[in-house]
Amino acid sequence: MVPEEELLDAVARVLAGDHSASTVQIAARVGISRATLSRRYATREALLKAVAVRAVQVVDGLLDAVDLPEATADAAAFDAALEELVVALLPAAHLYGFTSRDAGVLADPDVRAGLERQDQRALRFLALGQRLGRLRADLPPYWIWYSLWGLLDAAAEGVREGHLAPRGIGHLVRTSFLGGARPPWPAAGSEAGPHA
């Protein structure tokens, strides 16, 4: 029997590529029978809710891992945590991408509360990076957060459509994200430089 987390991840990948997939189509693409899927989730709505709850749990865990103490965090610690977060979010892009766009899932108060809590945690983390001079202060933290998810979603779609190699998307997302979110450094030859 397919472990629960593995099944929900596979379902999320199907839904990320075809949001309207029926339970029959989902089961076929995941590689299990419709009857097996129905025994675990009586309705499509119950299945979607389970995927959403899984998405919230996964992203919560990733945010836990980069929860820096604001009073003592420095630029090096923030940079390491940001790199870790970007890399760790790549495998979760399909989960978040589905959950953040499904109107039925977003109408669920528990899921909505989980997503809003995650947004607030992420915004605090990104605001810390701005205070430390590691992220651009002229961009709203919400934009930085949404931009990251946009890149993650684009990377997942590129892999799904066969345009991008799975092994290369980490580099693409990191360089694209950090290239836009990092503050512009002073021109070469000036006294100040990047805190790399």
Tokens standing for residue 129: 């990076």
- State yes or no: pLDDT of 100 exceeds 60: yes
Q: How far apart are CA 9 and CA 13, in angstroms?
A: 6
Contact between 132 and 78 under an 8 Å Cβ cutoff? The reply is yes
- State yes or no: pLDDT of 134 exceeds 90: yes
Report the number of distinct structural domains present in the chain: 1
Contact between 97 and 153 under an 8 Å Cβ cutoff? The reply is yes
Mean pLDDT within 76-98 = 84
> What pLDDT, on a 0 to 100 scale, did the predictor assign at position 189?
39
Residue at 18 is within a domain: no
pLDDT in tens, 37-60: 999 999 998 999 999 898 888 889
pLDDT in tens, 151-189: 988 888 888 888 988 888 888 888 898 888 888 755 333
> What pLDDT, on a 0 to 100 scale, did the predictor assign at position 29?
93
Which structural domain range is residue 99 located in?
A: 52-181
Q: How far is CA 57 from CA 6, 52, 164, 184, in A?
A: 14, 9, 27, 35
Residue at 191 is within a domain: no
What's the pLDDT band for 143 if we cut at 50, 70, 90? very high
Residue at 140 is within a domain: yes
Residue at 16 is within a domain: no
